[in-house]
Amino acid sequence: MSDDWTAVERLPPADRLAAEALIIDVDGFEGPLDLLLTLSRTQKVDLRRISILQLADQYLGFITRAHALRIELAADYLVMAAWLAFLKSRLLLPPEPGEDGPTAEELAAHLAFQLERLEAMREAAARLMARDQLGRDFFARGLPEDVALNRKVTYSATLLDLMRAYARTRTKDEFRPFVMDRDHVFTMEQALDRMRGLIGYAGDWAELTSFLPEGWDGNPMRRRSSTAAHFAAVLELAKRGQVELRQGETFAPIQLRRKDP
């Protein structure tokens, strides 16, 4: 522990202060690379000339401080710390003869490249957002006359349509065609009302035609209407489980009886 502390103490005072300030803000970083980029700014040099060794020290110092302050760091911060510690040792020691893989310099150069690229993208993003923007600085046509808002026009009508429609309504109600026909129409609602009262008595199978109301079996138009209405009504009752229906064969009389609950 005391070793770690001395590691931090060895940092130049400005860096140490910066590292301490950063720790407070640890949640504000978007990962280790972001933190490294921020740390690298304290070196005040072109990112291409940055000292990766010094940066590794700064980062490791940061991690140590965070540890000491018992700040939870995400795993990738620790992975980066381990990698930087490894890189640091490789940078400080002469390469083992016959060793495979990239040199420490290559790895350091890559890290510098990553930092430079990230910074370049940040600047590009800032320049992009500083541009004039549609809907903020410049605008599109507010009242488009085609596709997008043409939905309005998709349901379109001409003045002629409108006038015709009006003319229609002004002449139509003089005819009132259905009022005359009402006498010959038996509605399903009426039939349903009737049947509800009648099925209570229909304990045994009975033919549907026997339920037709008086006065509705003579005139063919009235017979058709009442038959249709009653047929629809018993279907409805069957659906509700109040009656059972049967028909011996096609076109045979339809019979019904009350279904016991």
Partner 1 sequence: MTDSPEPIERSLFEAPPMAEQERMVEAILFASTEPVTVADLEQRLPHGCDPAEALVHLRKRYEGRGVHLVRVGDAHAFRTAPDLGHLMRKETVEQRKLSRAAIETLAIIAYHQPVTRTEIEEIRGVAVSRGTVDQLLELEWIRLGRRRMTPGRPVTFVVTEQFLDHFGLESARDLPGLKELRAAGLLDSRPLPGSPSRGEDEDEASVGQSELFED
- Summarize as ranges the residues that interact with partner 1 (CB under 8 A): 30-34, 76, 101-103, 106-107, 110, 113-114, 116-118, 120-125, 127-129, 131-150, 152-159, 161-176
Please state the closest distance from residue 182 (CB atom) to partner 1, in A: 14
Nearer to partner 1, 135 or 218 (CB): 135
Helix (H, G, I), strand (E, B) or coil at 182: helix
Closest approach, Cβ 47 to partner 1, in A, equals: 10
**CA angle (147 as vertex; 146, 153 as ends), nearest 5:** 65
Closer of 163 and 221 to partner 1 (Cβ): 163
Instruction: Return the number of the residue (173 or 204) whose C-beta is nearest partner 1.
Output: 173
Helix (H, G, I), strand (E, B) or coil at 98: coil
Q: How far is the CB of 210 from partner 1 (least distance, A)?
A: 36
Nearest CB to partner 1, comparing residues 175 and 201? 175
Do residues 16 and 61 touch, judged by C-beta distance below 8 A?
yes
- Quick one: 38 or 190, whose CB is closer to partner 1? 38
CA distance 236 to 240: 6
Of the candidates 2, 238, 210, 38, the residue with the CA atom closest to the CA atom of residue 118:
38
Smallest separation (angstroms) from partner 1 to the CB of 251: 37
Residue closer to partner 1 (CB basis): 152 or 224: 152
Q: Quote the least distance from Cβ 258 to partner 1, whole Å.
A: 36
Quote the least distance from Cβ 66 to partner 1, whole Å: 17
- List residues bridging with 134 in a β-sheet: 138
DSSP run (H or E) holding 245: strand 243-247
Residue 243: partners with Cβ closer than 8 Å, 6 or more residues away: 199, 202, 234, 237, 256, 257, 258, 259
**CA angle 58–47–28, rounded 5-degree value:** 55
Reported as half-sphere exposure (CB side, CA atoms, 13 A), residue 12 has a value of 7
Quote the CA–CA distance of 81 and 76 in Å, as a whole number: 8
- Give the nearer residue to partner 1 in terms of CB position, either 2 or 169: 169
The nearest distance, CB 74 to partner 1, in angstroms, is: 9
